[in-house]
Structure 1
Amino acid sequence: MSKSRRTRATIQSAALDLFLEEGYNATTVERISVAAGVSHMTFFRYFRSKDGVLLDDPYDPAIGAAVEEQPGEMVPLERACRGILSAWSDVAEEDLGDVRKRMSIAVGHPQLRARMWENNLATQHVIAEALRTTGVARLEAEVAAGACMGALLVALIDWATAGEGGIGERIQLAMSQLIPDSDVSGRVTRGIAQELP
Structure 2
Amino acid sequence: MGLRERKKLRTRVAIRQATYRLITEQGYDATTIEQIAEAAEVSPSTVFRYFATKEDIVLTDEYDPVMEAALRSRPADEPPLVSLRLMMTETLTSFIAEEDEELRQRTRLMVEVPAIRARMTETLSETAKVLSRVLADRSGRSADDLRVRVFVAAVLGALREVALYWGEHGQEGDLVTMVGEALDSLEGGLRL
TM-score normalized with structure 1 length: 0.75
- Higher RCO (CA 8 Å, separation ≥ 6 residues): 1
Structure 1: stretches of 5+ with no match in the other structure: 182-197
Aligned mates of 2:12, 2:91 — CA distance in 1: 23
User: Is the aligned partner of 1:94 residue 2:92?
Assistant: no
Q: Tell me the equivalent position of 1:189.
A: none
Check conservation: 1:106, 1:112, Cα contact below 8 A.
yes
TM-score normalized with structure 2 length: 0.77
Q: Tell me the equivalent position of 1:191.
A: none
Aligned mates of 2:82, 2:180 — CA distance in 1: 12
The equivalent position to 2:185 in structure 1, one of 177, 181, 191, is 177
Q: Tell me the equivalent position of 1:153.
A: 160
Aligned mates of 1:65, 1:71 — CA distance in 2: 12
Structure 2: stretches of 5+ with no match in the other structure: 1-5
Identity within the alignment, %: 32
Q: Over the residues paired in the alignment, what is the CA RMSD in angstroms?
A: 2.6
Q: Closer, same or farther in 2 for the Cα pair 1:144/1:167, shift >3 Å?
A: same
Q: SS state of the match for residue 92, structure 2?
A: helix
Aligned mates of 2:24, 2:89 — CA distance in 1: 31
Aligned residues: 179
Q: Deviations over 1:94-115 (max 9, x none)?
A: 3114121022113212221110
Check conservation: 2:124, 2:156, Cα contact below 8 A.
yes
Aligned mates of 1:104, 1:87 — CA distance in 2: 20
Aligned mates of 1:94, 1:82 — CA distance in 2: 16
Q: Closer, same or farther in 2 for the Cα pair 1:175/1:43, shift >3 Å?
A: same
Q: Closer, same or farther in 2 for the Cα pair 1:94/1:77, shift >3 Å?
A: closer
Larger helix fraction of residues: 2
Q: Closer, same or farther in 2 for the Cα pair 1:166/1:3, shift >3 Å?
A: farther
